[in-house]
Structure 1
Amino acid sequence: MPVRFLAILILFFPLTTAGQGGAVRGDDSLVKRALENEIRAAGDTQHPMRYRLRKSSPRLISTKEILETKDGAVARLLSVNDAPLSAADEQKEQARLAALLNDPARQRHRKQAEDDDSARALKVLRSLPTAFVYHDEGSDEGAGGEVEKFAFTPDPKFNAPNLETQILTQMTGEIWIDKAQERVVRLEGHLQQDVDFGWGILGQLNKGGWILIEQSDVGDHQWHVVHFKMKMTGRVIFKTKVFDTTEDESQFASVPAGTSYKQAIQMMQAEEVNSERGANAPANR
């Protein structure tokens, strides 16, 4: 599970124990088991991946190669607005990677930021058993097999213990769980009311915002987010924010456990050199 998605994914992972009527019971429910699997996956550092990330917004489309390492993720820009980088931009990207290769402190700072985000997200995840009431809406056939669908609404008895969990008090939606592997394959969440942070002083997320997350088995029972879409508006302090982004991940390949960020950069640099040689090679006659 990519670290940059972890906080977003977990903030909207609605899994619960308490309930009434047809609500899910958490002690032995499919929902609770899926939650436990997601917690374990979030802490898995032995199966790093390499993949393409295409991120689009109304202003920009970028495609990057991402390589997960023990020192944090490393990214290489491949295209902008679906056009390959110019020679000058490619040179700038290679210079950026070379500078990062020789600046371990910068990568350590990035890794610390990733770890901080992950810790906050896991704190939210562990508080979710009291946040929602779930209703089983039956089975369906998904791309990878049979899935169980649940609708969720906020549990009125839930009192958010911190800023991170306040959004859960106004979130409703649906979640699909792969029944064989007991992993979340799809989640849709919608804000039913405005959500204030710090009595509205720190910020606000506006009613009507929504999020879509899709996960799949990308090989060897390794699950990864493959599609993410978010549309929300809000305010941070006094600045209005618009979140309108779509991210798609593809071309997954495993990376040896223990790969360092320097090794990842060297791999990317070597591949670029080989690519240039191939482009400059004379055509066969």
Structure 2
Amino acid sequence: MPILFAMVPAAVAQPQISVPAEPAQKLVADVIYNEMQDRERDSFWEYRSERLEAGRALVREQVETSEGPIFRVIEQQGAPLDNTARAEEEQRLKTLVEHPGAMDKVRKAHEADEERLRRVMEMLPKAFLFTYDRVESSDAVRIGFRPDPAFTPSGYEERIMHAMAGTITVNPRLKRMIAMHGVLEQRVDFGYGLLGHVDQGGTFEIGRMQVSAEHWKTSLVEVHVEGKILLFKDVTKNQRETRSEFHPVSHEITLTEAKQLLDKAAGGSGRELASVQR
């Protein structure tokens, strides 16, 4: 028996990874600051998007430009576009590129989304209490968050966000966000429910990935929320989008050049794609 025990190697001591020395609240504030700084840098990218919304599955190639993001649908419901759908996509893109002002609506919608996200990001360190939850590795620490009762939210968005609790995973060395997951812990009523509500149990998830030495991009957005605002506006949203294959593009890229990249991703030139109309 002693011989058998001698043959069993001693357990290898695993290095202990401790939580960062700085308070979780301070680390999150630094992470959010870095995220905001990154968003303000001039940085445009091309990437592949897989989107599922209202039972519709789309694969899109998207290019960011100074006039707003422009995309081409590559697949729909798990299959390449047929000739009719390809012709419609080509015409839609041609209109955006060739007609002055055609991108105005796209740009304004994009800017509104960016502004909404900026407000939410800035709100996080002020509206929530953070505590270390779990150390996953030397480059990944999970932090729990819950509403700070001392914070008074204003407006629909802040009230909805402030009713959430969840976790945020960060890289403590680079001080960047890796992921965030939240759950709406209670129903939010507006005007005692007369003006609207958002149901308890709604969830959201965000994933981030490093795409260069300085830049991180959103790789996952998943939202499941149900409710109504101002009696008639349905705010139900069930959406999942993953983004991958990030490639930097010139900050001076034009819409014409962006479309050429989209044409290439679709497997042909604009002329070849347009030919499906004939």
With the shorter chain as reference, the TM-score category is 0.7 to 0.9
Partner residue of 1:99 out of 95, 99, 108: 95
For residues 189-209 of structure 1, give each alpha carbon's deviation from its aligned partner in whole angstroms, at most 9, with x where no partner exists. Answer: 000111134554543210011
Shift of the 225–156 alpha-carbon distance from structure 1 to 2, 3 Å rule, reads same
213-222 or 145-154, which deviates more: 213-222
Counting only pairs closer than 5 Å after superposition, residues 148-227 of structure 1 correspond to structure 2 as 148-197=141-190, 199-227=192-220
Structure 1 consecutive aligned stretches of length 4 or more whose deviation exceeds 6 Å: none
Cα pair 1:197 1:204 within 8 Å, conserved: yes
For residues 201-230 of structure 1, give each alpha carbon's deviation from its aligned partner in whole angstroms, at most 9, with x where no partner exists. Answer: 543210011111111112334211112222
TM-score, L = length of structure 1: 0.79
Alignment RMSD (CA, Å):
2.6
Residue 140 of structure 2 aligns with an amino acid whose one-letter code is V
Separation (CA, whole Å) in 2 of partners of 1:114 and 1:190: 25
Residue 245 of structure 1 aligns with an amino acid whose one-letter code is Q
242-251 or 72-81, which deviates more: 242-251
Report the equivalent of 1:33. Answer: 30
TM-score, L = length of structure 2: 0.81
Separation (CA, whole Å) in 1 of partners of 2:201 and 2:98: 45
How far did residue 122 of structure 1 move?
2.2
2:66 paired with 1:70:
yes
Shift of the 58–118 alpha-carbon distance from structure 1 to 2, 3 Å rule, reads closer
SS state at 1:156 partner: coil
Separation (CA, whole Å) in 2 of partners of 1:204 and 1:53: 31
Cα pair 1:51 1:67 within 8 Å, conserved: yes
Alignment gaps of 5+ in structure 1 = 1-22, 278-285
Cα pair 2:222 2:240 within 8 Å, conserved: yes
SS state at 1:106 partner: coil
Separation (CA, whole Å) in 2 of partners of 1:76 and 1:199: 44
Residue 34 of structure 1 aligns with an amino acid whose one-letter code is V
Separation (CA, whole Å) in 2 of partners of 1:259 and 1:275: 17
Report the equivalent of 2:276. Answer: none
2:43 paired with 1:47:
yes
For residues 11-59 of structure 1, give each alpha carbon's deviation from its aligned partner in whole angstroms, at most 9, with x where no partner exists. Answer: xxxxxxxxxxxx9464xx2111101011112222x22110110011352
Cα pair 1:73 1:261 within 8 Å, conserved: no
Separation (CA, whole Å) in 1 of partners of 2:88 and 2:233: 32
Alignment gaps of 5+ in structure 2 = 1-21, 273-278
Cα pair 1:166 1:197 within 8 Å, conserved: no
Counting only pairs closer than 5 Å after superposition, residues 117-156 of structure 1 correspond to structure 2 as 117-141=113-137, 146-156=139-149
Report the equivalent of 1:246. Answer: 240
Count the aligned residue pairs.
Answer: 251
Q: Which entry has the higher C-alpha Rg, 1 or 2? A: 2
Shift of the 200–39 alpha-carbon distance from structure 1 to 2, 3 Å rule, reads farther
Shift of the 201–106 alpha-carbon distance from structure 1 to 2, 3 Å rule, reads farther
Cα pair 1:72 1:261 within 8 Å, conserved: no
For residues 48-98 of structure 1, give each alpha carbon's deviation from its aligned partner in whole angstroms, at most 9, with x where no partner exists. Answer: 110110011352100111100111100111110110011121111111111
How far did residue 174 of structure 1 move?
0.6
How far did residue 276 of structure 1 move?
8.7
Shift of the 75–133 alpha-carbon distance from structure 1 to 2, 3 Å rule, reads same
96-105 or 206-215, which deviates more: 96-105
Report the equivalent of 1:109. Answer: 105
Separation (CA, whole Å) in 1 of partners of 2:58 and 2:185: 32
SS state at 1:211 partner: strand
Identical positions, percent = 25
181-190 or 98-107, which deviates more: 98-107
2:253 paired with 1:259:
yes
Shift of the 39–197 alpha-carbon distance from structure 1 to 2, 3 Å rule, reads farther
Shift of the 202–263 alpha-carbon distance from structure 1 to 2, 3 Å rule, reads farther
